[in-house]
Amino acid sequence: MPDLGGIHPSLIYFAGALLVALAPAKPRKWVALGVAVLGFGAALGLSESAGPYTARLLNFDLVLMRVDAWSAIFANIFCLLSVIGVLYILHENSRLQFSAGLLYAGAAVGVALSGDLITLFVFWEILTLGAVMCLITRRTVASGRAACRYFVIHALGGVILMAGIVLHVAETGSTAFSDIGLSGLGSYLIFIGIGVNCAWPVLGAWLTDTYPEASIGGVVFMATYTTKTAVYVLARTFPGEETLVWVGMAMATIPIFYAVIENDLRRVLAYSLINQVGFMVVGVGLGTGLSLNGTAAHAYCHILYKALLFMSIGAVMFRTGKSKATELGGLYRSMPLTCIFCCIGAASISAFPLFSGFVSKSMIMSAAAKEGFVVVWMALLFASAGVFHHAGIKIPFFAFFSHDSGIRCKEAPRNMLIAMGIAAFLCIFVGSFPNAFLYGMLPDQSPKAAYEPYTVGHVTDQLSLLLFSALAFTLLMRAGLYPAEIRSVNLDFDWLYRKGGRAFYGVTDRVLNGTNRLVHAVFVRGFIPSLSRFFTEAPARLLCWMMVPVWVGSGLTPEQIASKREVMYVRAQRGVFPVGVTVCLAVLLLAFLFLF
C-alpha cells in the first residue's frame, strides 16, 4: 500500500463520493470500495507529525488534522467501518448509497481529526447531510418523511451547537477543541448541541424514530457515525462532567424497557444502540483514565457489533422484505450463515467472555465501582442483563428461531456475507485478544488505567449474570408471560415533535391563515370594492344631486327630471359628456365652490 500518511482521510472520502457519483455503472462499485480502502489506509497511516492541514478563516486558525491517540482510534474504526459498509451495499451498485456512505464516513473522520471548534462544526453539519442521504435512499414515503424530521432536529441541534461555539469563542477568545467544562451559557449550549447527536433522553428520540426507516445499508452507516462522533466530541470537551454519569445511566436503562415491547427488530436495535451509548457517556462522565479508555474501547467494539447486528437484520430484510418480529421466525434454515453472524453480534453486545463487549463494557463498570458510584454500577449491571435479554436473545430468537414463519428464502448475497464475516471475525478477535491491538490504541496508557478483563471472578460473574438472564427469558417465554409481539407504535419523546409539530402546524395554520382570511374578507372583499365603487359612483351621484335644483329651477316635470337624471348618471359613470355640458358643469361647480 502506498504511503498515505500525509493525506487527510476526509479528502479521500469527499473526492471519492464525488467520483462515485460521476462514475459509470460498471466500475462504480469498485471505485467505491477502492475509495473506502484508501480511506482506511490513510487512517492507519496517520501520524502525529502529519499535515500541515491548517488554514486561516477570518481571524481564526483552523486545524483540520490533529492526530493523537483519541483521534487515531476513532478515525481508525470510522474508516474500517466504511470498508465494511461499502462491501455490504456493493450489490446495490447505487450511486446515491455509495456517495452517502462515503460522504458520511468523510464527515465522521473529519470530526475525529478536527483540531478546533469551527472545523468541528463544519464536519458536524456534513454528518447530517450524510445521514439524510442514507434515509432517502430507502425511497419510501415514510423514509422521506423521516429524513425531513431527521434534518429538522439535527439542523436545530446544529444551530444550538453553533450558537454555543460563537458564545464560547466570544467569552474565551479560544476556538480550541479541548476540555471546555460547563461554565457560561456558551458551554451549556455546546453541551446540549452535542447531546442532540448523542441521543440523550428527550433530545434523542429522533434516533429510534428515524433509524428503522433508513435503507438497509444506510442504517449501518447511521448506527456508526452520528452518535459515536458525539461521544468522541463529549470525551474531548466535557470529560469528568458528573452530569454525564446520570445522563448516561438514564440512556443505558430507559430504552431497554421500550426494546422489550418493540416489534420492529431494527427499532429494537436502535433502542439497544442508545443503551450502549449510555455506557460510553457514563465513561465520559466519570472522567478517569480507566473510564475514558473504556469509552474509547467500547465505542470501537460497539461500532463493530452494532453494525454486525444491523447488517444481519438488514440481510433478513433484503431477502424477506420484513423486519418485524411478528412476521419473521425460523429463518435459521434458510439463512444459516446470517444467523451465525447475528448470534456473534448478539454475544458481543451482551458481553459474553471471548466476545468484544466483554473487554470494553467492563472497563466502564469497573471505573464506576472504583469511583464509588454504587447506584450507577447497579443500574449498569441491570442494563447489562437487560441488553442481553432484549438484544442478545430477542433479536436472533425472533428473526431466526421462535415460531416458523414459513418464509423460505436464499442466503444473503455474497458481498453481505463477506462484510458480516469481517465484522464477526473482528468481534471475536478483539474480544479474545484485547491486547493484540485494541488496548494498545487506547488514549491512556499509564499503569493506573491498565485493565485486565480475563480474571476468574469477572468471567464467572458475567456468565452467571447472562445465563440467569437467559433463564428468565426462557421461563417467561414458556410460561406465556413474555409480552406478545404486537404490531404497534410506542410513544416516545418523538411525540413532542411529531404530534407537537402537527399541532404547531395546526395552530399556525389557524392563526396565520385565519388572519389572512379575515384580512381578505374585510379589506380585499369589502374595503377595496367599496372604495372602487365610491370612486366610480360618488361623482355621478354628486353631479345628479347638484343638478336636480337646476332642473327644478328650469321648470321641468318630475318625469323629465327623472329621465335626465338617469342619462346624467350613466354619462357621469362612463365619463362621456358632451364637452359643452361638462365645461358648463365645471363652471357651475366652481361657482358653487366659490360661493360656499
Partner 1 sequence: MSSSSSSSPESKRAGESPGWFDRPTNVRKVLLGLYGACALFVVIDVVFRVVGFDKHPYFEWERWPGFQAVYGFVACVLLVFVAKYVLRPLVMRKEDYYEPVEDEEAVETSKGGGDDHA
Other Cβ atoms closer than 10 A to 434 = 23
Q: Which one, 470 or 547, has the nearer CB to partner 1?
A: 470
CB of residue 73 to partner 1, shortest distance in Å: 26
Query: C-alpha distances in angstroms, 472 versus 465, 466, 475, 517?
Result: 11, 10, 5, 62
Q: Which one, 322 or 571, has the nearer CB to partner 1?
A: 322
Query: C-alpha distances in angstroms, 113 versus 116, 225, 364, 524?
Result: 9, 14, 24, 59
Q: Which one, 67 or 339, has the nearer CB to partner 1?
A: 339
HSE toward the beta carbon, residue 245, CA cutoff 13 A: 22
CB of residue 423 to partner 1, shortest distance in Å: 15
CB of residue 447 to partner 1, shortest distance in Å: 17
CB of residue 167 to partner 1, shortest distance in Å: 36
CA distance 396 to 313: 9
Cell 498515505: give the residue: 4
For the chain, how many residues are written? 596
The crossing angle, in degrees rounded to 10, of helices 456-478 and 374-387 is: 50
Q: Which one, 200 or 318, has the nearer CB to partner 1?
A: 318
Q: Which one, 10 or 323, has the nearer CB to partner 1?
A: 323
Instruction: Check the CA dihedral 471-477-483-487 and report its sign.
Output: positive
Q: Which one, 488 or 530, has the nearer CB to partner 1?
A: 488
Cell 490533529: give the residue: 66
CB of residue 272 to partner 1, shortest distance in Å: 13
CA distance 190 to 198: 12
Q: Which one, 143 or 237, has the nearer CB to partner 1?
A: 143
CB of residue 116 to partner 1, shortest distance in Å: 39
Q: Which one, 322 or 564, has the nearer CB to partner 1?
A: 322
Cα angle 46, 86, 144; round to 5: 115
CA distance 65 to 71: 9
CB of residue 19 to partner 1, shortest distance in Å: 21
Cell 451495499: give the residue: 89
Cell 423514509: give the residue: 143
Query: C-alpha distances in angstroms, 65 versus 88, 177, 224?
Result: 29, 12, 21
CA distance 324 to 398: 9
CB of residue 191 to partner 1, shortest distance in Å: 28
